[in-house]
Chains A and B, each alone.
Chain A
Amino acid sequence: MSSAVEVSELTKRFGAFTSVDAISLTVEEGEVFGLLGSNGAGKSTTIRMLCGLLTPSAGRASVLGIDVARQPEEVKRRIGYMTQRFSLYEDLSVAQNLEFFGGVYGLHGERFEERRAWATKMAGLEGKQDRLTRALPGGWKQRLALACAVMHGPRVVFLDEPTGGVDPLSRRRFWALIDQMSAEGVTIIVTTHYLDEAERCDRIALMHLGRLVALGTVPALKDVFAGRALLEVACPRFLEAQERLEGEGFVLEASLFGTRLHLVVADAEEGRRRTLEILQADANVPASVERVVPSLEDVFIHCIEKEDAARSVTAVQA
């Protein structure tokens, strides 16, 4: 298996602002690779560099062995790209959109007919060819946008928050398409901030403020808690409890999850006992402490807090 995407020390600066800060990663062929992070983490900028839409400020990136900075046009020819905006022509019909994108990718004749039939079927739009795109429900538009983006049969597909603003059922259906393409050997790089979607990726990379803070398979990432336990605490004054518990030696990390508190401790039983003691002493009751299986969110919060702590140390040293 060779690499579909190779990124090394890739950096993008806009003036004084560094949007993507020296990230390195490799995506294997046929892999579904998730790029996660909050808004402004640098996910879209990374994707846009890989698609040849933006020139990197430093570092290297290649797609299917082609350098994105040196031969962006060659890269564009071989990839599919779809954004959260579903860049379709709303005033054209389903068939006309497919025809247009097929046309600008230079498809014609039998190959075009074949691809159009394939794309229509894949997107589940058979019988809807003459519908005006504007009149389609969001989930359908999304599948049509994907169909248009892969009309030319690219080996690598970049999806930039493809499921934004779409209902859960459509998201599920869309992910079934992603799995299907992946099964056909297409490499997929997808950005998202839905963690349930991230769980469906073969590997994920977490970006935070332009840096790559975690990279690996979902089970491997969850392994950061290996040898430690995660406790979920419920109590009436949870903010006060967080402040109080953070100061305790047995609590390695304390973070808020909605109205609950997640604690990382070395030993589950001891942690549970001491936490309950403290809460009862503070009359912060009724309180409950349960051991929970770490979720991706726990992993990310852990990684981001570690990164932020590292940065503030660097800042103090500087």
Chain B
Amino acid sequence: MSLRKVLAIARKELRQASRDPLSLAMLLGVPTMMLLLYGFALNFDVRHIRLAVQDRDRTPQSRELVAAFVNSRYFDLVADLAAGAELERVTQTREARAILVLPEGYGRELIARRESPVQLVLDGADSNTASTILNYANAIVSDQNATLMQAALGTRQGPALDLAPRVLYNPELESTQFLVPGLIGFILMLTAVLSTAMSIVREKERGTMEQLRVTSLRPGELIAGKTIPYLGISLTATAIILAAARALFGVSVRGPYLDLFIATLVYLIGALGFGLLVSSFSDTQALAFQAGSVLSMLPALFLSGFIFPIRAMPEVLQWITYAVPARYFNVILRGVILKGVGLGPYLQDLAFLVLYAAVVLGVAYARLRRREA
């Protein structure tokens, strides 16, 4: 392998990239834009839930429960419904996402120390939000229960069991903290795969690939020359994303940067290798773009644990996730960025990334070589 030939290709790629400022801006800017879009849009935190209340009891006890909901900060009281109001209309018009119904005699039953049911009507059209609201409501009600029991028992002693949670790394349980590392893995996979795949297929389309094949360039030289510039561009994009994540979402890297760099480098080499592989199967830029985006985006989005927990998947899908490099990268990134640890605990994940890169590059090499004949 001749370093000089590799550099000749790398220099040419960079020159072409700089000649095409739009594409370069896309490579560097689109990741940040995606971070912005996904970061704000993919917010699983549910706050300011519009709550309507139908208090048919109107006792101090009923007002206390309503106050507990409002004081929780999760709910905004938007309507006080009269008794006999049509509840479903409220959810149909989306005036409120949830309706708390306190029946007549709620307070009386409580004082009599009997079970006193309250009703929560939920808009289940968006099942994710609905289940989050249900969790909040459950927590508030059981809190309230504990207080009432205490009062009823007349003791100063608390309930028998009291869970005292302490959430590490992301104490506020903000979903952006957890999503940003996954987003970085997803975005890098997409841009790295597309940039290499497109750059090779463009040469095929324009006929320059044949000219390269007759220059006695070795496949290894071509692969190295093609990947090195995009590795540089992708690493720059990573730095921009990290800066943006810090500025926009307050997500800062708590662990060592060197470890982050190593993991990203290995991940990117695998992604670029996958781009090469895609290019060896497609002869037009249109096909390369479609195949490249679908094959890189979907696994990184759905099979990486980025949004959907891998353990909750059917077993077959869980097996497939072992071949998705974003899966390992996410684990490492969450560790380094959120937990502030180094690569130490994640050597196995790193090994899988190395294995992925080696396999993908090996197959791409074999395919390029075969076409030489």
Give the B-binding residues of A (Cβ under 8 A).
51-53, 55, 72-73, 76-77, 79, 81, 83, 85, 87-92, 96, 99-106, 108, 148-149
Interface pair A52/B214, CB less than 8 Å apart: yes
Q: Is B216 an interface residue (CB 8 A)?
A: yes
Task: Point out the residue from B4, B20, B207, B213 that lies within 8 Å of A103, measured CB to CB.
Answer: B4
Closest B residue to A149 using CB positions: B211
**Which of B9-17, B57-65, B83-91, B290-298 contacts its partner?**
B9-17
A188 to chain B, nearest CB (A): 16
Contacts A103-B4, A104-B8; A76 near B216 (Cβ below 8 A): yes
Q: Is B248 an interface residue (CB 8 A)?
A: no
Q: Is B239 an interface residue (CB 8 A)?
A: no
Closest B residue to A77 using CB positions: B216
Interface pair B20/A91, CB less than 8 Å apart: yes
Contacts A87-B208, A89-B208; A96 near B214 (Cβ below 8 A): no
Task: Point out the residue from B2, B11, B214, B373 that lies within 8 Å of A106, measured CB to CB.
Answer: B2
Interface pair A55/B216, CB less than 8 Å apart: no
Interface pair B12/A88, CB less than 8 Å apart: no
Q: Is B109 an interface residue (CB 8 A)?
A: no
Interface pair B211/A105, CB less than 8 Å apart: no
Contacts A85-B207, A87-B206, A92-B15; A104 near B214 (Cβ below 8 A): no
Interface pairs (17), CB distance under 8 Å: A52-B214, A53-B210, A53-B214, A81-B214, A83-B207, A83-B211, A85-B207, A87-B207, A96-B15, A100-B9, A100-B11, A101-B215, A103-B5, A104-B212, A106-B2, A106-B4, A148-B211
Interface pair A72/B372, CB less than 8 Å apart: yes
Given A76-B214, A85-B206, 10 more contacts at CB 8 Å?
A73-B216, A81-B214, A90-B206, A91-B19, A92-B12, A92-B16, A92-B19, A103-B8, A106-B5, A108-B4
A251 to chain B, nearest CB (A): 47
Per the bound structure, the CA–CA distance linking A23 and B236 in Å amounts to 55
Interface pair A76/B215, CB less than 8 Å apart: yes
Per the bound structure, the CA–CA distance linking A132 and B20 in Å amounts to 13
For chain B, residues 211 to 244, give those with C-beta under 8 angstroms from any C-beta of chain A. Answer: 211-217
Chain B residues within 8 Å of A99, by CB: 8
Q: Is B7 an interface residue (CB 8 A)?
A: yes
A145 to chain B, nearest CB (A): 9
Chain B residues within 8 Å of A149, by CB: 211
Per the bound structure, the CA–CA distance linking A77 and B214 in Å amounts to 8
B228 to chain A, nearest CB (A): 14
Chain A residues within 8 Å of B212, by CB: 104
B210 to chain A, nearest CB (A): 6
Chain B residues within 8 Å of A55, by CB: 373
Per the bound structure, the CA–CA distance linking A212 and B206 in Å amounts to 31
